Chains A and B, each alone.
Chain A
Amino acid sequence: MDMNEIKEIFFQECEEQLAELESGLLKLNDGDRDPETVNAVFRAVHSIKGGAGAFGLDDLVSFAHVFETTLDCVRSNKLEPTQDVLKVMLKSADVLADLTNAARDGGSVDESRSRTLIRELEALAHGEAPAAAEAPAPRPVAAAPAPVVEKPPVNDEGFQPIPFSFGDFDDEPAGHYVPTVQIDFKPKKDLYAKGNEAVLLLRDVSRLGEMSVYCDMDALPPLDKMNPEEAYFSWKLSVTTEKGEDGVRSVFEFAEWDCDLDIRTIEEDVVGETADEEEPPMQPVPFDLSMLDEGAAGASAGEEQAAENPAAAAVAAAETASKVAQVASRAAENAKAAAASAAQASQAAAAGQTIRVDLDRVDRLINLVGELVINQAMLSQSVVENDNNGTSSINMGLEELQQLTREIQDSVMAIRAQPVKPVFQRMARTVREIADITGKSVRLITEGENTEVDKTVIDKLAEPLTHMIRNAVDHGLEMPEKREALGKNPEGTVRLTAKHRSGRIIIELADDGAGINREKVRQKAIDNDLIAADANLSDEEIDNLIFHAGFSTADKVSDLSGRGVGMDVVKRSIQALGGRISISSKPGQGSVFTMSLPLTLAVLDGMVVTVAGQTLVVPLTAIVETLQPEASAIHSFGASQRLISIRNSFCPLVDVGRILNFRGTQANPVDGVALLVESEGGGQRALMVDAIQGQRQVVIKSLEANYTHVPGIAAATILGDGRVALILDVDAVVAASRGQSLRQDISLAATG
Chain B
Amino acid sequence: MASKKAAAQKSLSLAPVLDLNEASALHTQLMGLKGNPLVIDASAVERVGALCAQVLMAGAKSWEEQGQPFTFGKVSDPFMKTMQLIGVNIDHLLAQEAGQ
List residues of chain A with CB under 8 Å of any chain B CB.
126, 129, 133, 139, 141, 187, 192-193, 195, 197-199, 202-203, 206, 213-215, 217, 220-224, 226, 228-229, 231-233, 235, 284-285, 287, 292, 295-296, 298-299, 302-303, 305-306
Q: How far is the CB of A484 from chain B (nearest CB, A)?
A: 43
- The CA of A193 and the CA of B54, in the complex, are separated in Å by 15
Pair B85/A221 contact, Cβ less than 8 Å: no
Would A306 and B86 be within 8 Å (CB), given that A222-B65, A223-B34 are in contact? no
Contact of A198 with B50 in the complex, beta carbons under 8 Å? yes
Name the interface residues of B26-75: CB closer than 8 Å to any CB of A.
Answer: 26-27, 30-31, 34, 46, 48-51, 53-55, 57-59, 61-62, 65
A contact residues around B80 at 8 Å (CB): 298-299, 302
23 residue pairs A–B, Cβ–Cβ below 8 Å: A129-B46, A192-B49, A195-B20, A199-B50, A203-B85, A213-B86, A217-B57, A220-B54, A220-B61, A222-B58, A223-B31, A223-B34, A223-B59, A223-B62, A228-B51, A231-B54, A233-B88, A235-B87, A285-B87, A285-B89, A292-B84, A299-B99, A303-B99
Contact B57 A295 (CB under 8 A): no
With A223-B34, A228-B27, A298-B84 known as contacts, the answer to whether A303 contacts B89 (CB < 8 A) is: no
Is the Cβ of B84 less than 8 Å from the Cβ of A226? no
Which chain A residues lie closer than 8 Å to B87 at the CB level? 213-215, 235, 284-285, 287
B81 and A217 contact, CB distance less than 8 A: no
Q: Are A287 and B88 in contact (CB under 8 A)?
A: no
Partner of B51, one of A213, A223, A229, A295: A229
Q: Are B34 and A224 in contact (CB under 8 A)?
A: yes
Q: Give the chain A neighbours of B62 by CB distance below 8 A.
A: 222-224
CB–CB A199/B84 < 8 A: no
Find out whether the CB atom of B86 lies under 8 angstroms from the CB atom of A141. no
Q: B26 to A228, Cβ gap below 8 A?
A: yes
Cβ-defined contact, B49 with A199, below 8 A:
yes
A397 to B82, CA, bound (A): 75
Q: How far is the CA of A285 from the CA of B83 in the complex (A)?
A: 11
Output the least CB separation between A236 and chain B (Å): 8
Note all chain B residues with C-beta closer than 8 A to A232. Answer: 54, 58
Once the chains bind, are A223 and B86 in contact (CB under 8 Å)? Answer: no
B residues contacting the other copy or chain, number (CB 8 A)? 40
Q: Are A199 and B78 in contact (CB under 8 A)?
A: no
Other than A198-B49, A199-B53, give 10 A-B pairs with Cβ distance below 8 A. Answer: A192-B50, A198-B50, A220-B57, A220-B58, A222-B65, A223-B27, A226-B54, A228-B55, A235-B87, A299-B100
Determine whether the beta carbon of A198 is less than 8 Å from that of B86: yes
B49 adjacent to A197 (CB under 8 Å): yes
CB distance from B76 to the nearest CB of A (A): 8
Q: Which residues of A contact B99 (CB under 8 A)?
A: 299, 303
* Pairwise interchain contact B58-A221, C-beta atoms closer than 8 A: yes
- Distance, CA A303 to CA B96, complexed state (A): 11
User: B50 contacts A197, CB within 8 Å?
Assistant: yes
> Is the CB–CB distance between A226 and B55 below 8 Å?
yes
Q: In the complex, A726→B22 CA distance in Å? A: 70
B5 within 8 A of A: no
CB distance from A653 to the nearest CB of B (A): 77
Residues of A within 8 A of B20 (CB): 192-193, 195, 197, 229
Q: Is residue B92 within 8 Å, beta carbon to beta carbon, of the partner chain?
A: yes
CA distance A139 to B46 in the complex (A): 12
Rounded to whole Å, the gap between the CB of A751 and the closest CB of chain B is: 73
Q: Distance (Å) between the CB of B56 and the closest chain A CB?
A: 10
**A172 to B31 alpha-carbon distance, docked (Å):** 52
Which residue in chain B gives the minimum CB-CB distance to A221? B58
CB-based contact B91/A306 at 8 Å: yes
| Chain B contacts for A224, CB-based, 8 A | 31, 34, 62
B61 nearest CB neighbor, chain A only: A222
- Interface residue from B54, B57, B91 paired with A305 (Cβ < 8 Å): B91
Q: Which residues of B pack against A, CB within 8 Å?
A: 19-20, 23-24, 26-27, 30-31, 34, 46, 48-51, 53-55, 57-59, 61-62, 65, 76-78, 80-82, 84-89, 91-92, 94, 99-100
Question: How far is the CB of B4 from the nearest CB of chain A, in Å?
Answer: 22
CB distance from A320 to the nearest CB of B (A): 15
Judge whether B23 and A295 touch: CB under 8 Å: no
Q: Give A257 Cβ to nearest chain B Cβ, in Å.
A: 17
CB proximity of B74 to chain A, nearest CB, Å: 13
Bound complex: CA A228 to CA B30 (Å)? 11
Measured between beta carbons, the chain A residues less than 8 angstroms from B89 are 285, 305-306
Chain A positions within 8 Å of B54 at CB level: 220, 226, 228, 231-233
Q: State the 7 A-B residue pairs at the shortest beta-carbon distance, nearest first.
A: A306-B91, A215-B87, A213-B87, A228-B27, A198-B50, A223-B62, A228-B23
Query: Nearest residue in A to B24 (C-beta to C-beta)?
Result: A228
- The answer for the CA separation of A215 and B56 in the assembled complex, in Å, is 14
CB-CB under 8 A from B82, the residues of chain A are 199
Report whether B86 and A202 are in contact in the complex, using a CB–CB cutoff of 8 Å. Answer: yes
A89 to B92, CA, bound (A): 43
Residue contact A202 to B92, C-beta cutoff 8 Å:
no
Of the candidates A126, A129, A199, A226, the one whose C-beta lies within 8 Å of that of B86 is: A199
Complex Cα–Cα for A105 and B81 (A):
43
On whether the beta carbons of A213 and B85 are closer than 8 Å, the reply is: yes
Contact with A235, one of B23, B59, B76, B86 (Cβ below 8 angstroms)? B86
Q: Which residues of A contact B85 (CB under 8 A)?
A: 141, 199, 202-203, 206, 213, 287
CB-nearest residue of chain A to B93: A306
C-alpha spacing A477/B59, complex, angstroms: 64
Query: Which residues in A have their C-beta under 8 angstroms from that of B65?
Result: 222
Contacts of A139 in B (CB 8 A): 77-78, 81
Q: How far is the CA of A15 from the CA of B78 in the complex (A)?
A: 36
Most A CB contacts (10 A, CB to CB) among B23, B26, B58 go to B58
Residue of B nearest to A303 (CB): B91
- A302 touching B84, Cβ below 8 Å: yes
**Which residue of chain A has its CB nearest to the CB of B100?**
A299
Closest Cβ of chain B: how far from A493's Cβ, in Å?
42
Residue in B closest to A235 when the chains form the complex, CB atoms: B87
B88 in contact with A215 (CB, 8 Å): yes
Name the B residues within 8 Å of A235 (CB-CB): 86-87
Residue of B30, B51, B80, B92 ringed by the most chain A CB atoms within 10 A = B51
When distances are taken between beta carbons in the complex, the residues of chain B under 8 Å from A220 are: 54, 57-58, 61
Q: How far is the CA of A284 from the CA of B87 in the complex (A)?
A: 8
Task: Give CA–CA (A302, B99) in the complex, Å.
Answer: 10
Is B49 in contact with A226, judged by CB distance below 8 angstroms? no
CA distance A303 to B54 in the complex (A): 22
Closest Cβ–Cβ distance, residue B75 to chain A (whole Å)? 10
Select B78's contact among A133, A193, A206, A217, beta carbons within 8 Å.
Answer: A133
Question: Chain B: which residue is nearest A301 at the CB level?
Answer: B84
The CA-CA distance from A206 to B87 in the complex, in Å, is 12
The CA-CA distance from A222 to B88 in the complex, in Å, is 16
The distance in angstroms between the C-alpha atoms of A223 and B23, with both chains bound, is 12
**CB-based contact B91/A302 at 8 Å:** yes
A193–B51 alpha-carbon span in the complex (Å): 10
Q: Which residue of B lies closest to A144 (CB)?
A: B85
Compute how far the CA of A198 lies from the CA of B88 in the bound complex, rounded to whole angstroms: 13
Complex Cα–Cα for A243 and B31 (A): 44
Chain B residues positioned under 8 Å from A217 (CB to CB) = 57, 88
Which A residues are CB-close (under 8 A) to B92? Answer: 306
Q: How far is the CA of A673 from the CA of B99 in the complex (A)?
A: 99
Q: Which residues of B contact A298 (CB under 8 A)?
A: 80-81, 84, 100
Question: Are A223 and B30 in touch, CB under 8 angstroms?
Answer: yes
Q: CA of A284 to CA of B88 in the docked complex: distance in angstroms?
A: 11
Residue on A nearest B27 in the bound complex, by CB: A228
CA A206 to CA B81, docked complex, whole Å: 12
For the complex formed, measure the closest distance between the CB of A145 and the CB atoms of chain B, giving whole angstroms: 14
Q: Decide: A295 near B86, CB < 8 A? Known: A220-B58, A229-B23.
A: no
